[in-house]
Amino acid sequence: MEGYLGEIRLFGGNFAPRGWMFCNGATLSIANYEAVYVLLGTIYGGDGQTTFKLPDLQGRIPVGTGQGPGLPNVVLGQIGGTESVTMSTAQMPGHTHVAGVGTLTIPTCSTTGNTASPTNNILAGSDKAYTAEAPDGNLKPEITSITVGVAGASQPFDIIQPSLSTNYIICVEGIFPTRN
C-alpha cells in the first residue's frame, strides 16, 4: 500500500501493512527513519537527538489545525479535550425550585418569662425569654425567603460522542512529499 511519508490513514485491519505503523505514540530511531523525522521532527515527542515519536491517536480523534470561527487556535501536535466533566451551578441555565407551602406554629405565652433556658419551655414575653406556663397564643411568623436543600451529587458525566474503533496508521516507507 503506497503512501506519502507521514500520511495518516484509517485502517480497519488488526495489523499495520508493510511500510506503515500504528499511530500509537511509538518512539522511533532517527537513524532508522530519517526521512520521517525530517517531516515530523519532535512535534509528537522524542529527544530530537536520537529519537522522535509517532502521533498517538489511541482513543483520540484528530482535529484540524488552525482557528475556526468562534473556536480557539489549535497548533500541530496539540493534545486537548476531556472524556468527562462536572458541571457547576454557574454553568446551568437559570431555573427555580418550588418550595412547599405550609404553616409554622410556634406556641407562645404572653406572661413574663421566668427562665433563660429554652429546654422544655416555650417562648414568653418581656424580661426572660422562656416560661413553663401553658401556651395562650401562637406566633405568626412571616417568611420572606426560603432556601431549598442542595440537590445532586457533583459527579462527573461522560461527554464522549458515539464512536467506532478503527486503527490510524502512518506511512513510514513511501514517497517523500514535495511542497506545492
Q: Is residue 66 part of a domain?
A: no
Domain that holds residue 129: 106-139
What pTM did the predictor assign? 0.67
CB 101 within 8 A of CB 148: no
Cβ neighbours of residue 107 under 8 Å, at least 6 residues apart? Answer: 122, 123, 135, 137, 138
Q: Residue 66: what pLDDT?
A: 96
Number of domains in the chain: 1
Q: Is residue 123 part of a domain?
A: yes
Q: Is residue 133 part of a domain?
A: yes
Largest CA distance in the chain: 102
Q: Is residue 129 part of a domain?
A: yes
A 10 A CB-CB count for 5 gives: 20
Q: Is residue 52 part of a domain?
A: no
Tens-digit pLDDT profile for the chain (180 aa)? 899 999 999 999 999 999 999 999 999 999 999 999 999 999 999 999 999 999 999 999 999 999 999 999 999 999 998 888 888 888 888 887 777 667 777 777 777 777 777 777 776 665 666 667 777 766 666 666 666 777 777 888 888 888 899 999 999 999 999 988
Q: Residue 161: what pLDDT?
A: 86
Q: Is residue 118 part of a domain?
A: yes
A 10 A CB-CB count for 60 gives: 13
Q: Residue 115: what pLDDT?
A: 76
Q: Is residue 51 part of a domain?
A: no
Q: Is residue 127 part of a domain?
A: yes
CA 35 from centre of chain: 39
Q: Residue 49: what pLDDT?
A: 98
From the list 140, 146, 114, the residue with the least C-alpha distance to 127 is 114
